[in-house]
Chains A and B, each alone.
Chain A
Amino acid sequence: AQKVTQAQTEISVVEKEDVTLDCVYETRDTTYYLFWYKQPPSGELVFLIRRNSFDEQNEISGRYSWNFQKSTSSFNFTITASQVVDSAVYFCALSESSGYSTLTFGKGTMLLVSP
């Protein structure tokens, strides 16, 4: 069965610091998809990125970057020069090709960015 582990329950940083959120996954499928979602204090879930298991290229989007490593089953998320608006709960999620579109979520990491 699939599993997603986000070992960091809460991270506190000061604005402008870089921060990395860890995500480790388990799956038996060779084809799968990984996602990151952001949940700001207002409560909605915001999609950030999708990565499929065949694409190990790192991705950068502004201050956000993602590092996908199949060898360690990790899909880590880095925020460069963090800002107060980055304060949120971040979820990593996994979807297997054999399991329709069902998502297995990690328990989330709460990021607190202070001024």
Chain B
Amino acid sequence: NAGVTQTPKFQVLKTGQSMTLQCAQDMNHEYMSWYRQDPGMGLRLIHYSVGAGITDQGEVPNGYNVSRSTTEDFPLRLLSAAPSQTSVYFCASTPGFYSNQPQHFGDGTRLSIL
């Protein structure tokens, strides 16, 4: 069972470049989300989706774009990378869009913006 797969695991970008972080799950989960983890800040929600074609903003959405064309995939796009977006990014999924199920997390993408 693959679970939640994130690619790439590491990436270095230059300021202004764009990039897509990939996230795929094979558990047929309705709910998917993206978090960023910064030192001393815990994890903060960027965007989430409750199903194909439905997305919404989280706590820190600026500078990021998402779409959900299939149940399996939920890519995160950085439109014009900035040093403030240097972080570790986690994708997560859960069976339903109600809050009682634990989330399955990917292994993370460590992103550095120079």
In the complex, how many angstroms separate the beta carbon of B54 from the nearest chain A beta carbon? 10
**In the assembly, what is the distance between CA of A4 and CA of B45, in Å?**
14
- The residue that A100 contacts in the complex, of B42, B43, B50, with Cβ under 8 A, is B50
* Of B15-23, B61-69, B76-84, B100-108, the one with at least 4 CB within 8 A of chain A: B100-108
Chain A residues with CB under 8 Å of B107's CB are 43-44
A99 on the interface (CB 8 Å rule)? yes
Q: Say yes or no: B42 contacts A102, CB within 8 Å.
A: no
B1 on the interface (CB 8 Å rule)? no
* Of A64-72, A77-85, A90-98, the one with at least 4 CB within 8 A of chain B: A90-98
Q: Say yes or no: B101 contacts A91, CB within 8 Å.
A: no
**Most chain A CB atoms below 10 A, which of B90, B103, B107:** B103
Chain B residues with CB under 8 Å of A106's CB are 42
- The residue that B103 contacts in the complex, of A99, A101, A107, with Cβ under 8 A, is A101
A105 on the interface (CB 8 Å rule)? yes
Size of the B side of the interface (Cβ < 8 Å), in residues, is 28
Task: Knowing A43-B108, A102-B48, say if A107 contacts B99 (CB, 8 Å).
Answer: no
Q: Say yes or no: A35 contacts B102, CB within 8 Å.
A: yes
Q: Say yes or no: A101 contacts B101, CB within 8 Å.
A: yes
Chain B residues with CB under 8 Å of A95's CB are 99-100
Chain B residues with CB under 8 Å of A52's CB are 100
Chain B residues with CB under 8 Å of A101's CB are 31, 33, 48, 94, 96-99, 101, 103
In the complex, how many angstroms separate the beta carbon of B58 from the nearest chain A beta carbon? 7
Minimum CB distance partner of A95 in chain B: B99
Chain A residues with CB under 8 Å of B100's CB are 33, 50, 52, 95, 97
Q: Say yes or no: A100 contacts B48, CB within 8 Å.
A: yes
Task: Knowing A43-B88, A44-B105, A44-B108, say if A103 contacts B45 (CB, 8 Å).
Answer: yes
A-B CB contact pairs (8 Å), 5 listed: A32-B99, A33-B99, A43-B107, A52-B100, A95-B100
